[in-house]
Amino acid sequence: KQLVFSGVQPTGNLHLGNYLGALQKFVALQDTYECIYCVVDLHSLTATLVHDDLADQTRGIAAAYLASGLDPKKNIIFNQARVPQHAELAWIFNCVARIGWMNRMTQFKDKAGKDRENASLGLLAYPSLMASDILLYRATHVPVGEDQKQHLELTRDIAQKFNNDFSKRISALGYGVEMEVGEERVSGFFPLTEPLIEGPATRVMSLRDGTKKMSKSDPSDLSRINLSDDADAISRKIRKAKTDPNPLPGDVEGLAGRPEAENLVGIYAALAGVPRDQVISEYGGRQFSDFKPALADLAVEKLAPINAEMRRISADPAYVDGVLRDGGERAGARAEATMKQVHEIIGLLAD
Ligand code: TYM
């Protein structure tokens, strides 16, 4: 059975990278898969424990989910803290995973910086909690941007080690599910989850520097388009986006070595829902002074309605809380069922 899970942290404004790498994909998947979309508030404690307005940030991400077009009836939309089993399974995964696995994570190295001894233990264990999010629902597919790929590989490593360590108990209890690993068919309790990292905008880059990822933490607001930006701000940022002096190339191969051009073409393609070569067949050979206004118009056309809808939904926090509460109950029922089996597999007396 196929199930999609993904999550977004409630830290700062969402930007175009989050939208194209994640939210837009979430919406596209809701018609074909059963989907669970989480606001991962516990994850946001790993960098700084104290936030000014965590509850409102959490509601803000939920509002962005809804404004992008996610249907709260069709999907389960909730925040992580409502389902305590996320933290419980993460503890068990802390005992499955090895410290070396965590030390190798590039995101940990980047975020911890030089003073690793002073990073929170939660930051090191972050990928365990992420594996728990996914495997608590035995999700088979996870739509994310390119930057989460390594975390998803680690999620598979954790699932595989758990399945191996407990293989006898899993089959004695009859809890194994058949799955394909490469050419082999094996039985295990947790699936080996597949990342869904596809399309022209899996890694949206800064508008000021085509070699840096578009990110919430970049000090320059001109580097990113926020989902909260109005039409003027969107147009201005695209007009000011860094480019090289040459016109757009005549074919997709010509984008190689031109990170800014490649980024803008990728953004256009993802917003329009077409492959990059279609954008190039229309704009190849044209100057950025032609292409940028077209990109700005497209971005405003796609993002302005989401922005307006986010404002409308955010004006009614009780509605948003209702969605998260309802989603939390539905997620909680599934989480409880999984944890009951996990307790039995491990031999934890808990009922
Ligand atoms: P977060 O909150 O940093 O980002 C949310 C999503 O946005 C994607 N993204 C991007 N995609 C393309 N270009 C960019 N510049 C860009 N920046 C961010 C991210 O890849 C992500 O899909 N660890 C996760 C949250 C998480 C999660 C999970 C995800 C926790 N548990 C379980 C999936 C499944 C994170 O920090 O995402």
pLDDT for the residue 297? 98
Q: Enter the pTM of the model.
A: 0.97
For 205-251, how does the pLDDT look when each residue is reduced to its tens digit (9 = 90+)? Answer: 999 999 999 999 899 999 999 999 999 999 999 999 999 999 999 99
Q: Can you tell me the mean pLDDT for 174-178?
A: 93
Residue 179 has pLDDT above 90, yes or no: no
The total of other beta-carbon atoms located within 10 Å of residue 76's CB is: 22
pLDDT for the residue 202? 98
Q: Can you tell me the mean pLDDT for 338-349?
A: 98
Contact 255, 265 (CB under 8 A): yes
What tokens were used for 134?
């996914």
- State how far the Cα of 89 lies from the Cα of 262, in Å rounded to an integer: 41
pLDDT for the residue 351? 84
Ligand 1 centre to CA of 303 (Å) is: 19
Beta strand ranges found along 109-183 (DSSP E): 141-143, 177-181
Residue 186 has pLDDT above 80, yes or no: yes
- Ligand 1 touching residue 57 (CB < 6 A): no
- State how far the Cα of 155 lies from the Cα of 158, in Å rounded to an integer: 5
Among 111, 161, 242, 292, which one carries the catalytic annotation? 111
Whether 216 is a known active-site residue: answer yes
The total of other beta-carbon atoms located within 10 Å of residue 256's CB is: 10
pLDDT for the residue 75? 98
What tokens were used for 226?
């926020």
Core vs surface per residue 160-175: b (16+ CB within 10 A) or e:
bbbbeebeeebeeeeb
Pairing of strands 184-188, 177-181: antiparallel
The total of other beta-carbon atoms located within 10 Å of residue 189's CB is: 22
For 119-149, how does the pLDDT look when each residue is reduced to its tens digit (9 = 90+)? Answer: 999 999 999 999 999 999 999 999 999 999 9
Which residue is closest in CA terms to ligand 1's atom 37?
A: 8
Degrees to nearest 5, angle at CA 237 with 273 and 278: 25
pLDDT for the residue 245? 95
Among 149, 161, 216, 292, which one carries the catalytic annotation? 216
Nearest atom of ligand 1 to the alpha carbon of 143 = 22
pLDDT for the residue 13? 86
Whether 149 is a known active-site residue: answer no
pLDDT for the residue 262? 98
pLDDT for the residue 124? 98
**147 among annotated binding-site residues:** yes
Query: If pLDDT is split at 50, 70 and 90, which confidence band does 63 have?
Result: very high
pLDDT for the residue 4? 98
For 5-56, how does the pLDDT look when each residue is reduced to its tens digit (9 = 90+)? Answer: 999 999 888 999 999 999 999 999 999 999 999 999 999 999 899 999 999 9
DSSP states along 288-310: HHHHHHHHHHHHHHHHHHHHHHH
Query: If pLDDT is split at 50, 70 and 90, which confidence band does 344 have?
Result: very high
Closest CA to 303 of 22, 68, 57: 68
Domains located in the chain, CATH noted: 3-200+317-346 (3.40.50.620), 221-313 (1.10.240.10)
Mean pLDDT of the chain: 97
